[in-house]
Structure 1
Amino acid sequence: MSTTQSERLRELLEPLVGAQGLDLEEIAVDSVGRKRVLRVVVDSDSGADLDRIADVSRALSAKLDETDAMGEGEYTLEVGTPGAERPLTERRHYVRATGRLAKFQLTAGGELVARILTVDDEGVDLEVPGVKGRKPTARRLAFEEIAKARVQVEFGRKDDKSSKNEKEEEEA
């Protein structure tokens, strides 16, 4: 997709997404055989439930139908969220991932898996899990030190365990 089409689509669709209380995270146009697929990824600090996604999908579809932004020919519109292992590319992504485990590729080389504790304008405060029975350690990373970061899928997250323990104590 050309940069100009991407920019045009973003300018056209971002106000509609914002009106639904969501952020426009990504736009991609892919060719699938003779058809094209317009994928729009949205999110917010509180997440995006199916009703909000359906509302924004209807609004985007109506706007695209009244303009020629997608040009001639058929296309399919897909609206969704970033998914479980979302990349962290903006400060707001790190804020939304607070409390989650993330894998960091460092600009100096190497990688680090740690839990995001807090986020400010300069970087993130992390809890690095202890190895072989050692206690977790604190670490600070400036955004400039992070080449790439991605949320990790966890089964039985740290906060899930604490709420489970509280429930067990209440039942006892």
Structure 2
Amino acid sequence: MKNQTSNIVAARTKRRRNSAITDTFQLLILGGGLIWLVLRGAAEMNYVWQWHRVPQYIYKVIDGELIFGPLIDGLLVTLEIGAYSIVLGLVIGLITAFLRLSDSYSGKLLATVYLELVRNTPLLIQLFVFYFVLGPIFEIDRFWVAVLCISFFEGSFASEIIRGGILS
């Protein structure tokens, strides 16, 4: 019995080792193929990439002072929009989850309409509606239009996660 168990363990170990070798070989083949495709595509395009121009859009050093370029400024604004959207999306998600769980018919209806409307509409369409329609009507700054739109989108998914957690 003990000998049979050790044979089974040895066979499994050998299979795992062979599987790891096979996986590594497949990864190398796929990675090499991908690198070959990229290099071949770049050679066929006959385009000279001008990467030396990119750093000026990331940063500049003027009189020993580091000044961020437009790409870093855009990254910081994106992170700021994301941070505000996470907090506001969580608040919207909590409110919507509690409305869905409430005994109020109008609360449930309001939350359900919001969820179905937001979850069944692509985010890009929502961004267009918020930016080109709601922003000008209510005179909301572009930054806050982005925060509100992403918050409503995140809030719809967060509410279902919260509601599911409460019901479990």
Give the TM-score taking structure 2 as reference length.
0.25
Give the TM-score taking structure 1 as reference length.
0.24
Q: Which has the higher helix share?
A: 2
Q: Which has the higher strand share?
A: 1
Q: Pick 1 or 2: higher relative contact order, CA cutoff 8 A, min separation 6.
A: 2
